[in-house]
């Protein structure tokens, strides 16, 4: 299974798998979709094939590549098990970070009413104060 993860780690190989989704393609057609030279793409195809992800069939002089059915079953099975591996069935007392945190204390002060002093009140604004004259 480590070979599968190693093969999936490279963005070019993931791009190859996207191209091969549901189709068989010759190596030349796959290589034409990438900026790398053909030998580099050939190496990526070999890594995917050796990891058990790709099937290679020959038609006359061409090598056709396709995704092997069931290639990702072990990986998907492991991914399906991850939630049970990460969160234990019951919190262990020796790992306090697994216990839910206590809610923060909230101290509420009684509401206070502040009345402005008479000398802090602003005079009312009149419409005439807002109008400006323009020449």
Please say whether the structural domain 2-67 has been given the CATH code 1.10.10.10: yes
| Confidence (pLDDT) at 96 | 54
pLDDT (tens digit per residue) in 97-134? 555 666 766 666 666 655 555 555 556 655 555 565 55
pTM recorded for the entire structure = 0.58
| Confidence (pLDDT) at 77 | 81
Angle, alpha carbons 53-54-58 (nearest 5°): 160
pLDDT (tens digit per residue) in 18-55? 999 999 999 999 999 999 999 999 999 999 999 999 99
Domain ranges of the chain: 2-67
Alpha-carbon distance 21 to 3, whole Å? 20
Please check the confidence at residue 4 and state whether its pLDDT lies above 60: yes
């Amino acid at each position: 299974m480590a070979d599968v993860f190693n093969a999936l780690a490279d963005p070019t190989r993931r791009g190859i798998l996207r191209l091969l989704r549901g189709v068989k393609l010759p190596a030349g057609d796959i290589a034409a979709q990438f900026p790398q030279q053909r030998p580099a793409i050939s190496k990526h195809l070999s890594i995917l094939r050796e990891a058990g992800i790709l099937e290679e069939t020959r038609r006359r002089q061409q090598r056709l590549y396709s995704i092997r059915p069931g290639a990702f079953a072990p990986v998907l099975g492991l991914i399906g098990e991850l939630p049970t591996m990460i969160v234990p069935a019951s919190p262990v007392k020796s790992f306090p970070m697994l216990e839910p945190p206590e809610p923060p204390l909230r101290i509420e002060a009684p509401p206070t009413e502040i009345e402005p002093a008479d000398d802090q009140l602003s005079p009312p604004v009149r419409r005439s104060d807002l109008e400006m004259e323009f020449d």
